[in-house]
Amino acid sequence: MSDVNIELHHSSRSNRENQDLLDRLRKIEGQVRGLQRMIEESRYCVDILTQVAAVKAGLNKVGLALIESHTRGCVSSAIKLDQGEPAVQELMDVLSKFVK
């Protein structure tokens, strides 16, 4: 668990940003269902792999949007409140997980 003040964990995303993320995730969900169908139908491997790449790219976009929001909101606020070091460490920890 991070030492960052609990008040800094409140989301700084707008309702619109949340809706955009949900829309992206619903699209990804549809793509995953499509992948399941493709495998059930024994579709051509290259077509399936292309769709897997599209799902991965979609998830990366969601992740990057969340990282940006967290950095601009939570990390920025923590720095202004002189709590930047734990917030930056938390960001670095999550980035290291994200890029694996």
What CATH number has the domain bearing residue 47? Answer: 1.20.58.1000
Q: Give the helix ranges, DSSP H, for the chain.
A: 15-40, 45-70, 76-80, 84-98
Determine, yes or no, domain membership for 92.
Answer: yes
Residue 99 has pLDDT above 60, yes or no: yes
- Pick 14 or 45 by higher pLDDT: 45
Where in the sequence is the domain holding 30, given as residue range(s)?
A: 13-98
Which amino acid makes up residue 99? V
Q: Is 18 helix (H, G, I), strand (E, B) or coil?
A: helix
pLDDT score of 9: 57
pTM of the model: 0.81
For the chain, the domain total comes to: 1
Determine contact, residues 79/89, Cβ cutoff 8 Å: no
